[in-house]
Chains A and B, each alone.
Chain A
Amino acid sequence: MTEKKRGKGFGILVTFVTMFLFWLLLSGFFDAFHITAGIICSAIVALISHDLFMKEGGLARDKLFKLLLYIPWELWQIVLANFDVAYRVLHPKMPIDPRIIEFETTLRSDFALVTMANSITLTPGTVTILVEPEKGKFWVHALAQAPADALLVDKTMQTKVAEVYGEW
């Protein structure tokens, strides 16, 4: 019981410090009035929403590091995605063949599912429609056969996300 109580106080403290640093960063004024107002606002936010900010079972440090390595690859995929969509949109005949596909993954945790879903939405010709957390199942709307095959056959993205979060 005491263990749990300490965890809660720690969560409020971390939220408060983060919020206050963010306040200083955005305001840029360091006089007494603005700092007092910042402390009051951060305290209110920390009391109300600390359980949203510091959810139990947050990201471990090694996963965060792997996530940072994953982001550049994802950015490059986003650039490719945009050229792909731009080509399909600007082509006189519009080579699209939309379809809805579904597949299961080994991902289970919230962070992994969110990363996967957002990555799908940002990369070539695919948008996530539904996610079922229990089975790690994704429903995806694909703009054509080629982007659908990237998820169904190649599975590059699933492998990379699973590697980041260690959920094979």
Chain B
Amino acid sequence: MVGIIAWVSGGFLAAGIFFMFTGAIGLLRLPDFYTRLHATGKCDTLGEVLIITGLLIYHLFYYPETPLVLVKLLFLIVFLFLANPTATHAIMKAAYNTGVKPWKVGDKRM
């Protein structure tokens, strides 16, 4: 039983790290400001939430005597889902208003 829990939470952590890693690769490979925000804005949200879910499961079965930590982690997930897209949108709006040119197919990398 304990072994299975460790594997399940480890699986969530691994999936989370995969998406964070993809976000980092996207940040390096994609051609311009807007497309890079796509990679970081989306992959980071899911990656972070998956990592926190893994920690939640681990904590639930290994340290059941401190349930307050679980509630805090749950709140963290909620705030991530609200704050991450909002921040992405704010950065993108600022870039658009200051006239950053979007990249089109065939243009040079910026």
Contact = CB atoms under 8 A, between A and B. Distances in A.
A122 B82 CA distance: 10
A84 to B, nearest CB: 9
A100 B31 CA distance: 15
A96 B86 contact: no
B43 A85 contact: yes
A97 B93 contact: no
Interface string B42-63: 1101100000000000000000
Given A25-B68, A85-B39, A121 B88 contact: yes
Given A81-B42, A121-B41, A129-B92, A89 B25 contact: yes
B30 A94 contact: yes
A55 B92 CA distance: 27
A128 B30 contact: no
Interface residues of A, number: 29
Contacts, number: 91
Contacts of A121: 41-42, 85, 88-89
B71 to A, nearest CB: 6
Given A82-B43, A122-B85, A143-B38, A98 B102 contact: yes
Interface in A71-99: 78-79, 81-82, 85-86, 89-90, 94, 96-99
B88 A141 contact: no
Interface in A145-161: none
Given A128-B89, A141-B102, 14 more contacts: A25-B68, A81-B42, A85-B38, A85-B42, A86-B18, A89-B39, A98-B35, A98-B102, A121-B42, A121-B89, A122-B81, A127-B89, A129-B96, A141-B38
Interface of A: 25-26, 28, 78-79, 81-82, 85-86, 89-90, 94, 96-100, 117-118, 121-122, 125, 127-130, 139, 141, 143
